[in-house]
Chain A
Amino acid sequence: AQSVTQLGSHVSVSEGALVLLRCNYSSSVPPYLFWYVQYPNQGLQLLLKYTSAATLVKGINGFEAEFKKSETSFHLTKPSAHMSDAAEYFCAVSASGSARQLTFGSGTQLTVLP
């Protein structure tokens, strides 16, 4: 079975600083990985996804993630944080079965300090 682990339930950065949110996966088959963002009182929105076409994936709002098989990681980064990036971020893996259901990490709350 596939699973993901997010290290750090809360991350605080200053505006303009690098954002790094960590995600490690466990999978016996090639994983299909996603990052979703949840703004307060809203649903989840796709930031980016890994499809095996490229190890560095660019997403919306300046975010990107790098797939590293040797480290079983798919960390999310953004060079310069903006106040509007404050949200909860979820890493997820798509199940290998036919139902395509997602297994989520526990989430990381990002706070951006002025």
Chain B
Amino acid sequence: NAGVTQTPKFRVLKTGQSMTLLCAQDMNHEYMYWYRQDPGMGLRLIHYSVGEGTTAKGEVPDGYNVSRLKKQNFLLGLESAAPSQTSVYFCASNKGQWRNTEAFFGQGTRLTVV
């Protein structure tokens, strides 16, 4: 049982380049999330999805886009990368049945923008 899988694990981009981060979950979860982790700031929510075909903005959505065409996949796109987007990105999924159901996290993608 793989859980939540993120691809790639590491990436270096030049300023202005674009890329897509892929998140895949095999737990049939309805809810999926993208967070970024920066030192001293915990994890901040970028975008989320409560079901196939739906997406919504989180706390720090600027510069990112997302898509959820299939229930098991949640893609995070950077159209024109900036050094401020250097971070570790985590995808998570949640069954969403109750407020106290736990979220499961991927291993993270470490992105450096130079």
Query: Is the beta-carbon distance between B42 and A106 smaller than 8 angstroms?
Result: yes
Chain B interface residue count, Cβ-Cβ cutoff 8 angstroms:
27
Q: Does A46 contact B (CB under 8 A)?
A: yes
Complex contacts, A9 vs chain B, CB 8 Å: 40
Chain A interface residue count, Cβ-Cβ cutoff 8 angstroms:
28
Across the two chains, which residue of chain B brings its CB closest to A97?
A: B99
Which parts of B87-114 form the interface with A (CB within 8 Å)? 90, 92, 94, 96, 99-103, 105-108
Q: Does B41 contact A (CB under 8 A)?
A: yes
Q: Which one of B11-19, B43-51, B64-72 contacts A? A: B43-51
A96 to B99, CA, bound (A): 7
Q: Does A17 contact B (CB under 8 A)?
A: no
Q: What residues of chain A have their CB less than 8 Å away from a CB belonging to chain B?
A: 6, 9, 32, 34, 36, 41-46, 49-51, 90, 94-96, 98-107
5 A-B interface contacts by CB (under 8 A): A44-B92, A46-B103, A95-B99, A100-B94, A106-B42
